[in-house]
Amino acid sequence: MSAGLTLGPYTLPNRWFVAPMAGVTDRPFRRLCKRLGAGYAVSEMITARPELRDSLKTARRANHAGEPGPIAVQIAGTDPEMMADAARYNIDRGAQIIDINMGCPAKKVCNKWAGSALMHDEALAAAIIEAVVAACEPHGVPVTLKMRTGWCAQAKNAPRLARLAEQAGVRMLTIHGRTREQGYSGQAEHATTALIKTLVRIPVVANGDIDSPEAADAVLRATGADAVMIGRAAQGRPWLFAEIDHKLRTGRPMPAPTPAQLRAWLTEHLLDHYNLYGEHTGVRSARKHLLWYLRALGGAPAAQQRLREAVVQATRPEQQLQALHAFLDTLQDPPAALPLAA
């Protein structure tokens, strides 16, 4: 069950993938998830607009220094030629796999008819897929596609787009089990993914509401999917990939991480984070990760409140690290798995 799959010239070590999430799956987070059991990770969405390529935000998103391969970069845009140029641009900078974003439901993306909004215009979606595949083929770079089940409940056209994408040369499909209209509300449905799996021969990845080894196993069995992709459930709990891998390989739950392990993992993540963003921005952007860790780790309410206040008030990296270490010293029980809704 945990054996990897082949994607172009690459054999992935397992079938537990990290979803691309804007503002979350930066290089430090991807590196940590891979170290803790994720077999594959895709970068944050990078815009295809050439005038934004030199921005600091894009430069950080495109930073893969020290990250184990294969390096997968997700691109988003609405113009086929611009998307093809973006693919070539990122390949020149180390991308080994190009992922097309047709899954993001954010208004600032969809209002420009990018992301999941492209599912509303199948002709444009097809033109973009064909242009990106044509740009990547001479370099031997596989193209993947992430999309939703459809634009809305009345227009679940993912099966049709899946066959179109396969015919155009896409090498792997990831299906988030919600429509663009749903955003992240309600429950993911994986019946559409199961249908797509019967229609195409390329690998299909199931995404949506997978927050435990049991959920991963259930979705794989229900859909026949080749892998699962995990997004929000990994926020604050990157060791979830190791838990899934251990349970599905051995049939037994993985022992909970010790405070010493947690201290090493979280410190490594934060130091890498500060290194990428610099002290001023890094302290601020680390807050969300620390608060997610706090949610996952539990602990005494008073100790939680002290860490929460210290994380928000800190102006230097060492202040956040000291507060985190002090909190970990108070932990008596191992972290308990939380449902995604938490």
| Helix (H) / strand (E) containing 192 | helix 191-199
Q: Look up 104 and say whether it is catalytic.
A: yes
CB 32 within 8 A of CB 235: no
Which pLDDT score, from 0 to 100, does residue 299 have? 87
DSSP-derived letter for residue 226 is S
Whether 73 shows a pLDDT value over 80: the answer reads yes
| Exposed/middle/buried for residue 310 (C-beta within 10 Å: 0-12, 13-18, 19+) | middle
| pLDDT category of residue 138 using cuts at 50, 70 and 90 | very high
Work out the average pLDDT over 274-293.
Answer: 96
247 pLDDT higher than 60: yes
Whether 338 shows a pLDDT value over 50: the answer reads no
Question: pTM for this one?
Answer: 0.91
88-111 residue pLDDT tens: 999 999 999 999 998 665 555 434
Letter string b/e over residues 255-283, b meaning 16 or more CB atoms within 10 A of that residue's CB? eebebeebbebbeebbebbbebbeeeebb
Q: Which of 33, 104, 110, 136 is catalytic?
A: 104
pLDDT value of position 201: 97
What pLDDT is attached to residue 52?
Answer: 79
